[in-house]
Amino acid sequence: MKVGLIINPIAGMGGKVGLKGTDGPEILQKARLLGAVEEAPLKAKTALKVLTPIKEKMKIYTYPGRMGEDVAKEIGFKPIVIGTPKSITSPIDTEDAAKAMLKNGVDLLIFAGGDGTARNIYNAVADKIPVIGIPAGVKIHSGVYANHPRSAGQLALKYIESGNLDTKDAEVMDIDEEAFRDGILTAKLYGYMKVPYIADLVQSQKSGGIASEDEVLEGISEKLIEIMEKEPDTYFIIGSGSTLRPVMEELGLTNTLLGIDIVKDKKLVASDVNEREILEIINGHKAKIIVTVIGGQGYIFGRGNQQLSGEVIKKVGKENIIVVATKSKLQTLGDNPLLADTGDEEVNAMLTGYIKVIINYSTVTIQPIKGL
């Protein structure tokens, strides 16, 4: 089977440095100046490793260097390299690569990136060939992605081995990053691409979660630990609630279910801390707050976690607040926004707008938030 491989090497670079994607050369330059590094190749490597047992049964077509060749060779494949090497890649290069894959008659196209990459792939191939997205971007709203890089490899493996795996039409979604940076959420459906379908490996944005609650919580925990590993010098202030218990269990740390814990370098710094203790520990250091949503009510601050006061939130900053929730919990809110009741009008106003919510390993949704 002919398999196409495209890696958008800059996908996801804006996440670690607090940018909302890497769409546009100016934002990419800003991300690099802030110390952002390429992560998409690592995600692609995770997916491709799953395919090594059948590498003799497939031909990989890819683009030069960082767009696929380097990773494929590192894993042990002997790819057929097409296209012209580029020192700086752009959306046009992604589209050109996808068009070249189509011209060479690939049976399956695997790509690593985010929603912008999915749009580029769609522009080039539409629904003419099945695709599998390796989640590597800051924004993953589209339904064309597997729920984990490893799942992308497993899905490709099953598709190649079976030869007749069912496909489904999955959404290609994206938001306007520039508008979102100004607090305006503009989402758009661009079209549909065909994706090999196995319920445990792919999640549709329209139909909602298809994994069990435990699997979703496990995925959220894995994502949070991945974030911690990338920021070893950061204090992570872990909020209360059962949704966050699995991440502490995965780290092998004692969890204060109804209190606040602080973790750094994946080690417990302090348990059941109060506001003063939090401020003393994070003083002069980088810190992030991880909180979950109270189902049915929508509060992320001011109910059961008053230790995370307005003063603490000001020290940390809205851009360093990580909200997690299962999709089922968000659905209990209907059309109501998330709520923040910090007791500080300035902080409540700062929080009002939109905020990202991690709902599984590969999916982040944007939710309205209202400061009371």
CA distances (Å), 219 to each of 18, 128, 185, 290, in order? 21, 31, 26, 15
- For residue 206, the model assigns a pLDDT of 34
**The pairing of beta strand 2-7 with beta strand 235-238:** unpaired
pLDDT at 24: 60
Residues 187, 362: Cα–Cα separation, whole Å = 18
Do residues 324 and 220 lie in contact, with contact meaning Cβ atoms separated by under 8 Å? yes
**100-117 core/surface letters (b: 16 or more CB in 10 A; e: else):** bbbeeebebbbbbbbbbb
Helix (H, G, I), strand (E, B) or coil at 369: strand
Number of neighbours of residue 95 by Cβ within 10 angstroms: 19
3-state secondary structure 160-214: HHHCCCCEEEEEEEEECHHHHHCCCCCEEEEEEEEEECCCCCECCCCCCCCCCHH
In angstroms, rounded to a whole number, what is the distance separating the alpha carbons of residues 72 and 64? 10
What single letter denotes the amino acid at residue 37? V
Give the other-Cβ count within 10 Å of 166's Cβ. 11
pLDDT tens track, the chain, 372 positions: 999 999 999 887 654 443 545 566 666 666 567 666 678 899 899 999 999 999 888 999 999 999 999 999 999 999 999 998 887 888 899 999 999 999 999 999 999 998 889 999 999 999 999 999 998 876 677 889 887 788 899 999 999 998 778 899 888 887 665 555 444 555 677 889 999 988 777 744 433 333 457 778 888 898 999 999 999 899 999 988 778 888 888 889 888 777 889 999 999 999 888 888 899 999 999 999 999 998 777 889 887 787 888 899 999 999 999 999 988 888 888 888 998 888 788 999 999 999 999 988 878 888 999 887
How far apart CA 364 and CA 320 sit, in angstroms, is 15
Q: What does DSSP say about strands 59-62 and 2-7: parallel, antiparallel, or unpaired?
A: parallel
Cα distances (angstroms) measured from residue 300 to each of 145, 156, 293, 336, 348: 28, 38, 5, 13, 12
In this structure, the number of other CB atoms found within 10 A of the CB of residue 360 comes to 25
Q: What is the dihedral of CA 61, 67, 72, 74, to 10 degrees?
A: 160
Pairing outcome for strands 59-62 and 80-81: parallel
Q: State how far the Cα of 131 lies from the Cα of 145, in Å rounded to an integer.
A: 9
Q: What are phi and psi of 42, to 5 degrees?
A: -65, -40
User: What pLDDT was estimated at residue 346?
Assistant: 92
Phi/psi at 247 (5° precision): -70, -40
Tell me the torsion sign for CA atoms 259, 263, 267, 270: negative
Cβ neighbourhood burial of 134 (10 Å; 0-12, 13-18, 19+): buried
The pLDDT of residue 202: 72
